Amino acid sequence: MSKAKAFTWDPDDFIIQTDELKDIIFELSSLSILAGPGAGKTEMLAQKSVFLIENNICPWPKKILFLTFKTEAAKNVKDRVSARSELTKERFSSKTYHAFAKSIVDKFRLSLSEGERPDTGYDIIFKGESTKQKVHINDIIKLAIKIVRNNGKISTLFTASYTHIFLDEFQDTTIEQYELISILFSSQRAKLICVGDLNQSIMRWANADPEIYNKFERDFSPEKKMLVNNFRASENVKSFLSKFVIFVESGKFDNLPVLTAGGCSFHFFDDDLKEADYFSSVVEEKISSGILPSEICVITKQKPLEYTQKLCDRLKGKEIQHVVYGAFQDSLSEPLGVIFSLILECLLSRSPKAWEEINEFYQDLHYLDLSKHYDQSTLHDFVNFFSSKKREVNIKNVDEIITFINQVIKKMDFKAFKAKWPQYKSKDFVDFTWKELTAQLKKIFPISKSACGIISLFCGKDAVQIMNIHKCKGLEYKVVLLLGFEDDAFWSYSDSSFEERCVLYVAFTRAKDEIIVSQSLTRSCISSGKKQHSNTKLANVEKYLVEICGMDYIRH
């Protein structure tokens, strides 16, 4: 164990400097961190990066590498770091595993044998077999592993470039992802910092390795740490979770009831029409009491569109904005969606913040260094193009708006998008994403009353959020409504499956103040609503939620 006692850490005022957090920040060894929900994993990684760079523990020109699963998460942590320190931003490289592996394949493809080597300018595909011209996204990591195994110098190069590697959501890491990291950094010159929550292991179906923490501890001998404070949840929700987690971890039903779990309730309805009537009024009341619509989340196990159709109709009747996460929201959270919405916002609302973010996006995309004259003039050229084209757009015409966005993205140079994000090497994926974005803009354009209304409807920022459990991971809301607590939705559920228990835990742990669970005897999206649910699979959990975890039971 080695501590950085002589160093300084000066976090933002809102950060509570708990002993467990300080212990992690000042520890200089590799770290294996197990953290609970709302424990501030993402925040800690951002704080630690700033600490390492500002104290020169990661000395210039070396960098920190942050690896995660989703582009959104990579962006989220990069934004948090950028907001805290300009110095750190430059030297903090945040990537998804796929983008990281692709950067290795692109740079070192010659280390592969002729037969295995993809052609220069190969495309990425999401379906079908890999060929020399097209590499399946799942084969990218395999190719990167082969490259690093074939050429020992690559690992030396990476350890010379990065002093610290952060691995987020570590419980979801697959055997291949871990293999790539462990062979690249096996010399242990770089420090690895892995953070995750075993009770949020909901990706084992996608090959997440259940042994991942043990492997890491065996291979890298890290210091083991815990982050247990839950900064997200109210005392009532924490009290509920403290009981529920016993079942998640052991699969056993504890029999001592909690004393208080106010703000947590279980509702039973005869049919989903009554359910929709009731919850649309609940949502309305919450909004009039001052809760933002975007602080309310309706979660379903699956098919959110079908399960919440009746509720959405009622919300619409009450003019409450809501957004159901589906293909469009996935497209919106893609880098292409992010820049699409920023350009739209800048055009329609003239928001200086959106303009600043477009500039930053462009600089990041082209790795511009504004202390260099050439890079300054590249940016200047883009800015001039944007401003002159913007003046020509008739903002009452949606086709003109789409053409403008297209022109700006072309000017940004789509080759740079392809180089930075592997998914854009697939033409099908680009076409699909573009179609989703433009179709949604065309759909909401005629029904929006103002420019701000268009942006708000398009981005869904001020709307009640509706999504499935896998989507809600990592997010937080004041009120969480888990709708459709029924065997039909949780068809693969079994009390004895750890992953299935984790799925419920992920949903419940998104709540800050209130957890509502809803069950309906009949549901129209299943067998035309005629079928009565037996709910035998979930019966024990239902009983546990009410009798032991302290949820109020309300029969409507």
Ligand X SMILES: Nc1ncnc2c1ncn2[C@@H]1O[C@H](COP(=O)(O)OP(=O)(O)OP(=O)(O)O)[C@@H](O)[C@H]1O
Selected binder of ligand X within 25, 31, 40, 135 (CB under 6 A): 40
Q: Which is nearer to ligand X, 465 or 519 (CB)?
A: 465
Q: Which is nearer to ligand X, 37 or 222 (CB)?
A: 37
Asked if 553 touches ligand X (CB under 6 A), the answer is no
Query: φ, ψ for residue 467 (rounded to 5)?
Result: -160, 175
Q: Report in angstroms the alpha-carbon separations of 121 from 102, 109, 125, 132, 428.
A: 12, 11, 13, 10, 16
Using Cβ positions, the residue closest to ligand X within the complex turns out to be: 40
Q: Which is nearer to ligand X, 15 or 112 (CB)?
A: 15
Let me know: does 454 contact 346? Beta carbons within 8 Å. no
Whole-number minimum distance, CB 517 to ligand X, in Å?
18
Residues 1-30, interacting with ligand X (CB under 6 A): 14-16, 21
Asked if 37 touches ligand X (CB under 6 A), the answer is yes
Whole-number minimum distance, CB 24 to ligand X, in Å?
11
CA 217, CA 60: separation in Å to the nearest integer?
29
Residue 345, strand partner residues = none
Tell me, residue by residue from 130 to 149, as one string, x for binding to ligand X by CB under 6 A and - for no binding.
--------------------
Closest CA to 518 of 283, 267, 308: 267
Asked if 310 touches ligand X (CB under 6 A), the answer is no
* Residues, the chain: 556
Per the listing, tokens 């098919």 go with 303
Whole-number minimum distance, CB 201 to ligand X, in Å?
12
Tell me, residue by residue from 496 to 535, as one string, x for binding to ligand X by CB under 6 A and - for no binding.
-------------x--------------------------
Let me know: does 292 contact 320? Beta carbons within 8 Å. no
CA 181, CA 92: separation in Å to the nearest integer?
17
Closest CA to 297 of 484, 462, 465: 465
Selected binder of ligand X within 25, 27, 38, 310 (CB under 6 A): 38
Q: Which is nearer to ligand X, 102 or 232 (CB)?
A: 232
Tell me, residue by residue from 43 to 72, as one string, x for binding to ligand X by CB under 6 A and - for no binding.
x-----------------------------
Asked if 197 touches ligand X (CB under 6 A), the answer is yes
Residue 124, strand partner residues = 135
Asked if 198 touches ligand X (CB under 6 A), the answer is no
CA 302, CA 260: separation in Å to the nearest integer?
30
Asked if 228 touches ligand X (CB under 6 A), the answer is no
| DSSP code at position 251 | S
Size of the site for ligand X (CB under 6 A): 18
Under DSSP, is residue 118 helix (H, G, I), strand (E, B) or coil?
coil
Whole-number minimum distance, CB 554 to ligand X, in Å?
27
Structure tokens given for 295: 């602080």
Selected binder of ligand X within 25, 35, 140, 154 (CB under 6 A): 35
Q: Which residues contact 376 (CB under 8 A, 6 or more apart)?
A: 370
Q: Which is nearer to ligand X, 196 or 263 (CB)?
A: 196
Find the angle CA(30)-CA(33)-CA(38) to the nearest 5 degrees: 145
| DSSP code at position 115 | T
Asked if 232 touches ligand X (CB under 6 A), the answer is yes
CA 15, CA 239: separation in Å to the nearest integer?
23
CA 107, CA 120: separation in Å to the nearest integer?
10
Residues 476-495, interacting with ligand X (CB under 6 A): 476
Selected binder of ligand X within 231, 268, 361, 498 (CB under 6 A): 231
Q: What is the largest CA-CA distance in the chain?
A: 71
Whole-number minimum distance, CB 373 to ligand X, in Å?
40
Residues forming contacts to ligand X in the complex (CB under 6 A) are 14-16, 21, 35, 37-43, 197, 231-232, 474, 476, 509
